[in-house]
Amino acid sequence: MKREIIITDDGSTTIHLPDLDEQYHSKHGAIQEAYHVFIKTGLEYFLKQLQPKPLKILEIGFGTGLNAFITLLEADKNKVPISFTGVEAYPISSSEIEKLNYPLQLNSPDEYFKKLHKSEWEKQINISTHFSFLKRKQFFLEINDINNFHLIYFDAFGARVQPELWTEHIFKKMYIALKKGGVLVTYSAKGSVRRAMQAVGFVVERLPGPPGKREMLRASKI
């Protein structure tokens, strides 16, 4: 499928899929969205309640590596050990990686960003002092982890383009993959998504969304 690199409103890049009219991040600001949805509403919220060592995160859709990179920067800044697993079935190419401006926009050397992309699939490695990383080349529907993660970044393409990824079937998998007390965050605020989450046992909150989006969802396994 055709992929184009575009610049979003906060100056950070993302990937646009012209055939689907879909992006990897919000056009209103890729970095802003990542910080709001996954760091502030997910990581920071979780750490206020529990500080497991390490904190285990599963990302549904490693994609450009932006969420993983920002999480690494947070782990090092706050000296919080994080073990991060990114699942992705359609990795981006080296020429696309070269065009992403995240290290520049985040004022960070690009060494760690490159390491995330260059790391071998299915091999856990330490990328920085506080950040251990595993990239799994896998379809989301093949995920069968049990009681393994504290936090899930649910960042699949929208329900408009991939409705099969926003169903009770997939959220049941996410529920099982989380430990008790675990939390899932996503940019979506659709009613059908919230109801699918509730149907499998999640307690769901509707929270203010990132720029350009009124609401988002946070689901907890209580």
Instruction: Check binding of 90 to ligand SAM (CB under 6 A).
Output: yes
> In which residue are the tokens 């009124």 written?
214
Rounded-to-integer distance, Cα 115 and Cα 69, Å: 10
Rounded-to-integer distance, Cα 156 and Cα 152, Å: 12
Instruction: Check binding of 157 to ligand SAM (CB under 6 A).
Output: yes
Q: Which residue is nearest to ligand SAM (CB)?
A: 63
Instruction: Check binding of 67 to ligand SAM (CB under 6 A).
Output: yes
Angle at 17 between CA 40 and CA 213, to 5 degrees: 35
Candidates 180, 31, 169, 192; CA nearest to 100 is 31
Of 49-57, 82-90, 175-183, 212-220, the segment contacting ligand SAM by CB under 6 A is 82-90
| For ligand SAM, the closer CB: 55 or 156 | 156
| Residue 153 C-beta: closest distance to ligand SAM, Å | 7
Instruction: Check binding of 154 to ligand SAM (CB under 6 A).
Output: no
Rounded-to-integer distance, Cα 18 and Cα 3, Å: 7
Rounded-to-integer distance, Cα 158 and Cα 2, Å: 17
Instruction: Check binding of 209 to ligand SAM (CB under 6 A).
Output: no
| For ligand SAM, the closer CB: 55 or 70 | 70
* Candidate list 140, 149, 154, 202; residue touching ligand SAM; CB under 6 A: 140
| For ligand SAM, the closer CB: 181 or 212 | 212
DSSP H or E stretch at residue 113: helix 111-118
| For ligand SAM, the closer CB: 40 or 201 | 40
Q: Name 207's Cβ contacts closer than 8 Å, sequence gap at least 6.
A: 41, 215, 216, 217, 218
> In which residue are the tokens 């203010």 written?
208
Instruction: Check binding of 155 to ligand SAM (CB under 6 A).
Output: yes
Binding mask 1-30 for ligand SAM (x = CB under 6 A): -----------------------x------
Rounded-to-integer distance, Cα 188 and Cα 174, Å: 15
Residues that bind ligand SAM (CB under 6 A): 24, 61, 63-64, 66-67, 87-90, 139-140, 155-157, 162
